[in-house]
Structure 1
Amino acid sequence: MRVIIGIIIVAIALLAAGLIWFVIQSIPPGDGPTTAAGRQGGAAVDSAARIDIEVLRKQIEVLQDEVRSLSDQVRSLASQPVPQAQTPGNNPAINFGPNAIIDTYAQVVLIAQRRSINEGMQVATPTFLEGFLGRPRETLNDTCQPMTNPDLKPMLKVEQVGPVRVQMLQPALDSLGRVLENVRAADQDLYDRINTAGSLCVRQIRGTVGRVSSHSFGLAVDLNIDGQLDTLGDGKTQLGLTILADFFREEGWIWGAGFTREDSMHFEVSRELLEQWREDGKI
């Protein structure tokens, strides 16, 4: 830090010297008679030239004052203690200063390259989920009903996970907890504004007969910022959700913004993560 401060001071000095040299070079030569030795007589400089010289001299003095002021400010900064490098992981309570975008988390923005945001991961399709976990219940309709699958039901829990209260399978709750803890450590302001629009809902996908989504298995959650629901299918989302999506992707979750019909409030466990849980004996 002090090396950088020193460089700034030197740069200011060089800049000032260059400006002063430029001003001096701009002073016009006298127009008086030339002496026998070939030199112009200083006393013969006309009034207009003297006025120009005085104006330029004043400009030099102003420049010198500004340079001194800047140097004092830089030295003041140099005398302040330099904070040690910290990371959210080793000091979650660290204060990084004012959050410049705190009032824009709920702002609606276009989703850039949304069809490629889940590249490298596979969606757990209804066919895969039923084959992998069995049906969540035997009979389905368009309304949310209780889960009856005897293998899944014992893993279904209702918990407060960070800022949201959700009902999901235990491995999904644990994974969601890691995601939100990472968000909290990196951006407390965003974390405090996260809200949920639902998690478990055992029903058939509307417009289909008997097809179930990841919500029916307790493997998905809908999130929003400040309780403002996203408009389904418009290709836009809240700025805060675009930030959250990076944390979910790192944990192995699919973001619904990449679906054919954009659903950017929706986050669900990927097929790869489910297969890893099966390998680890978690599901």
Structure 2
Amino acid sequence: MRIVPAIILAVAIILAPILWYVVPLVVPFEENFEGPAIDSGARIEIEMLSQQVEDLRNQVERLTQQMSSGQSGGTYLQQQNLDAADDFGFDSSTPNEIIDAYAQVVLIADRKKVNEDLELAGAAFLRETFGLPREELTDECQSMTNPRLQDNLVLEDVGPVRVRMLKPAIESLRTVFENIERTDPDLYARINTAGSLCVRRIRGATESASAHAYGLAVDLNIDGVLDTLGDGKTQLGLTILADFFRDEGWVWGAAWGREDSMHFEVSRDKIEEWLEQGLF
């Protein structure tokens, strides 16, 4: 009859994280928290849950075996709870698991759709709109010589980072960071940059330049830890940042065929809006 409590405990292990997510959606709680990070957090939890279903099944099998062999259920259950916490990317030995979680690496949920209805500017559109950022492009970062772009290029401290970008992009980035700082100051304090302006051609192309070459893109990370390009994973903090950038009209590189989740660039929609406003 030991199999009966094992099954009950197994069901509880599987249902606990599901109920943790579903109940707040069904039962309204009064909160003063506002901001796009709410939806992002829910999406992350769903993704992390789906990744761990198989691990939970394995834990259930081990639990059943241990209970059948007569091992102490309390000791075993305690260990399973610790294992489950580790599986979800939280180190139970740290003093602040929520803050530490920003740097945890997770799979990017539904990454092909993270930019929703935003349109990528693309090299052809940028060249047609502004011309090349310099006449001759190489594989190395060089100075910008295009007068129209050069007149709008500034170097400034924006929020937690220092960037060299076009003025409208810097002001837009400032808005993003202000929203993040107001909504999630702990995350804001962890933001770092891996670079912004780099005037060079796209690898493998001859006369095409990326958004970085136009001063319309920035690479960000958490705590200065660089993301592994193309593995479909990223730091949890970046998935939250992406919500704020999307609301401001920036595209996230996580959706690329070769995922680049540190990369954020101004969308074509936003550039066309600035053009109509005469900002260039």
Following superposition, the deviation at residue 277 of structure 1 comes to: 0.2
Match of 1:258 in 2: 255
Q: Which moved more, 1:113-122 or 1:253-262?
A: 113-122
What do the CA deviations read for 1:19-70 (whole angstroms, capped 9, x no partner)? Answer: xxxxxxxxxxxxxxxxxxxxxxxxxxxxxxxxxxxxxxxxxxxxxxxxxxxx
Partner residue of 1:117?
114
| Alignment correspondent of 1:126 | 123
- Does 2:207 match 1:213? no
Q: Deviations over 1:86-142 (max 9, x none)?
A: 5679xxxxxxxx975101101000001101111201101100000011110000000
Aligned residues: 192
Query: Partner of 2:165 in structure 1?
Result: 168
Superposition deviation, residue 206 in structure 1: 1.4
Amino acid at match of 1:215: H
Report the AA paired with residue 243 of structure 1. I
TM-score of the aligned structures, taking structure 1 as reference length:
0.66
Compare relative contact order (CA 8 Å, sep 6+) and give the higher one, 1 or 2.
2
2:229 pairs, out of 229, 232, 243, with: 232
Shift, 1:245, TM fit: 0.1
**Alpha-carbon distance, 1:211 to partner:** 1.3
* 1:187 has 2:184 as partner: yes
Q: Residue by residue, what CA displacement relative to the aligned partner does 1:166-189 show, whole Å, maximum 9, x if unpaired? A: 000000000000001100000111
Distance 1:86 1:106, change over 3 A: same
| 3-state secondary structure, aligned to 1:249 | helix
Task: Give the aligned partner of residue 240 of structure 2.
Answer: 243
Q: For 1:220, give the aligned amino acid.
A: A
Give the number of the structure whose residues are more often helix, by fraction: 2
CA contact (8 A) 1:141 1:210 kept: no
SS of aligned partner of 1:216: helix
Aligned with 1:201 (options 198, 202, 223) = 198
TM-score, length of structure 2 as denominator length: 0.66
Task: Give the AA of the match of 1:250.
Answer: D
How many Å separate the matches in 2 of 1:224 and 1:126?
24
For residue 152 of structure 2, the aligned residue among 152, 155, 164 is 155
Secondary structure of residue in 1 paired with 2:163: strand
- Give the match's secondary structure for 1:147: coil
Q: Who is 2:80 aligned against?
A: none
Q: Which residue of structure 2 aligns with residue 103 of structure 1?
A: 100
Which runs of 5 or more structure 1 residues have no equivalent in the other structure? 1-83, 90-97
- How big is the shift at 1:85? 7.1
How far the C-alpha of 1:164 sits from its partner, in A, is 0.2
Cα distance in 2 for partners of 1:208, 1:159 equals: 30
Q: RMSD of aligned C-alpha atoms?
A: 1.7
**Which structure: larger Rg?**
1
Aligned partner letter, 1:159: E
Output the CA distance in 2 between the equivalents of 1:183 and 1:174.
14
- Deviation of residue 250 (structure 1)? 0.2
Residue pair 1:88, 1:185 contacting (<8 A) in 2 also: no
One-letter amino acid matched to 2:138: N
Q: Which residue of 2 aligns with 1:278?
A: 275
CA–CA distance in 2 between the matches of 1:118 and 1:230? 19
Give the Cα separation in 2 of the matches to 1:233 and 1:100: 27
Counterparts of 1:74-89 in structure 2, within 5 Å, are 86=32
* Alpha-carbon distance in structure 1 between the residues aligned to 2:267 and 2:211: 10
